[in-house]
Structure 1
């Protein structure tokens, strides 16, 4: 992370997702839903777009601007995150909808704001971070791609009157980022004149703000026509977009007087209990750390500090569910989980099916994606002396590739 992005932790960065259109051009007769709610790889497009920004830790708030007729559709997405604000109703056109979003954010007065089309679900963390970083030097920034085709100009759509210099032409994408106060003021002024601007960068240029370009992403396409969804599905299925990551976890807890232990989310009667701050479920702790590791999200101690008394005696399924939620926010999926428990007693095999079921239900995955194994230490070491239990875990996660 750049020094600027590190500094952003002390600043507020809001995101406006513009989702107030009907998306009629993208709808074939077999796709009645507006494009922002149409499934893409089994996940609604708007869910993917919102998730792309919630996957960036520097983002402090996200608000969707929706069509007045789409409140039920939005609610059906069941989007939940502390940074996600209630949706607001948009205007008659994109420019009016963005202004509605800016007005909704105005009381909080964020330092920066990113404006994103709901129909661009493939914005990567790197692309988003590049736009944010450019705002250290410029009033505004947007991703753009150099035009590679020869561009012709025609006044009637038939006869060519000029050939443009493509070396000076770039195709604009979103998110487009700005310093909040400046773009809010520019939008307010633009609303007083009889002119419709094509995007927020054009409003910024009209207002005299300096707008820079960062390198765009060819896969950051905007879903406009039915064929765009076919291309998007190909992007999702291609290995050039998704990558598999492996995380590992290790945990150990000692025994103390008691009559049961928690392992894999299952209560097991035993002659002692495991010592620890939460319920001391050594298996779920190792597994949670493995998932965090696969997505580069630290460990349990980062998210649930043992110094915080609210986690005293807490069920470790809370930690596991949080880790799974981060995978979802990163637009990823869990491929498989593998847990090995090392102990002399109790016997693990009779409880393994129940452990698999608890883990699968907590993470919303199939039990077939969870493996529970057990072994002893052949009476060697502290495990062999029955002084504690060790657990090791690995997690295989598929997430969007970050170059």
Structure 2
């Protein structure tokens, strides 16, 4: 049976207090959206995924899911119902058997919940993961309690809300414009019986800043294997008019010699990250004998190392970089380097330390023949 996940990521999600839509906020080195999408792609019975995004969000989306094998994104509508409808219409030519409609802001969806939903879909047209209510429930009017609600007759709805594709597409076409916020409500309106399966408390929807902190804690608590890596690199000067250092182009009367852009600082930092996960060195992944890396920007190397850590389920905790040279001066460019490295690694700027020092005119750096850099990286991995 052909199954496609439809991830709804068209909302603005401003209640987190961030300027960025919540689905594009990074938690422990990955955006919420990427974590959500990867959960579905990792399931053996989900063929692929399609993400419905907000108008104008394409740059955020492309950065968040770069290198993932997904269907082309679909632009959402003014309401959630319109967004889902747009996504469903985009899948017609693929004609899936099942579609799993999921909130992008629920990044902790488990393989077990997806499997339970798919098993139930074998004999139901609609399936909803739910949670039983544990608190006492009350009805109220104004500031006064008016009665009790039987919690045994109420459940909390989660996603993915799962359907046979033809049934939910027909429901959306029939009841377009109803502005319902829940796809199972639309299914009920269309007379489709909705079966339920057990959800999970971890499958919560990130909405507020407190939810961001909760999500961060859930991830970091599992990362108990703490690693440290060290990197060192040297590049000589040659005739030129600027140097690349820490991802920043600095005017200078020389440039650094190398096969790539020769950013000695990013090279040392790349080796430190690779060393922390036991993955060789920069030359292993980007051989200088390979012509495709001639003149390449070193941020590609550093991002690759960070991605390898992400693939292992880990996160970068802190990096500390020391640049050793007589010139150019590091101080005036420290903040720009710090911000650029944090951007490449997708971590907070206060997790990036940059220092500049000299060798008191001693050695090749003291004679102004080149620049050296050393870096230490701390990485957290799951046990």
1:259-270 aligned at under 5 Å gives the runs none
The partner residue of 1:201 within 174, 178, 184 is 184
Question: Matched residue pairs, number?
Answer: 242
How far off its partner does 1:220 sit?
A: 0.7
Structure 1 spans left out of the alignment, 5+ residues: 1-10, 245-290, 292-323, 336-363, 365-395
* C-alpha deviation, 1:334, in angstroms: 9.7
TM-score in terms of structure 2 length: 0.59
Distance 1:170 1:81 in 2: 35
Other-structure match for 2:73? 87
Please say if 1:226 is aligned against 2:226. no
Distance 1:333 1:24 in 2: 27
Structure 1 residue 12: deviation in Å?
A: 0.8
1:25 corresponds to which residue?
15
Please give the alpha-carbon distance, in whole angstroms, between the structure 1 residues aligned to 2:47 and 2:85. 19
Q: Distance in 2 between matches of 1:200 and 1:327?
A: 36
- Show the counterpart of 1:332: 313
Change in CA separation of 1:150 and 1:55 when aligned onto 2, cut-off 3 Å: same
What is the DSSP-based 3-state SS (H/G/I as helix, E as strand, rest coil) of the residue aligned with 2:49? strand
Equivalent-residue separation in structure 2 for 1:214 and 1:19 (angstroms): 24
Q: Does 2:43 correspond to 1:53?
A: no
Contact 1:47–1:79 (CA under 8 A) maintained in structure 2: no
CA contact (8 A) 1:334 1:398 kept: no
SS at the partner of 1:69?
coil
C-alpha displacement of 1:232:
0.9
Q: Deviations over 1:340-383 (max 9, x none)?
A: xxxxxxxxxxxxxxxxxxxxxxxx9xxxxxxxxxxxxxxxxxxx
Residue number in structure 2 paired with 1:37: 24
Other structure's SS at 2:93 match: coil
Look up the SS of the partner of 1:25 in the other structure: helix
> How many Å apart are 1:79 and its aligned residue?
2.9
Per-residue CA distance 1:113-152 (angstroms, 9 max, x = gap): 0000000000011111111111012111121110111111
Q: CA deviation at 1:81?
A: 3.6
Corresponding residue number in structure 2 for 1:102: 88
Match of 1:117 in 2: 103
Q: Deviations over 1:3-58 (max 9, x none)?
A: xxxxxxxx2101110000010112x2xx2211000011221110101111011121
Unaligned runs of 5+ in 2: 226-278, 280-305, 317-344, 346-379
What is the CA distance between 1:243 and its match in structure 2?
Answer: 9.1
Deviations 1:89-112 (A, max 9, x none): 000011110000000001211000
Alignment equivalent of 1:149, drawn from 93, 113, 135: 135
User: Do the aligned partners of residues 137 and 325 (structure 1) sit closer, same or farther apart at CA in structure 2, a change above 3 Å counting?
Assistant: farther
Structure 1 61/326 Cα, relative in aligned 2: closer, same or farther at 3 Å? farther
C-alpha deviation, 1:328, in angstroms = 5.7
Q: Say if 1:325 and 1:34 are closer, same or farther in 2 by CA, change over 3 A.
A: closer
Alignment partners' CA distance in 2, 1:61 and 1:332? 21
* Other-structure match for 1:398: 382
CA positional deviation for 1:198: 2.6
RMSD: 2.6
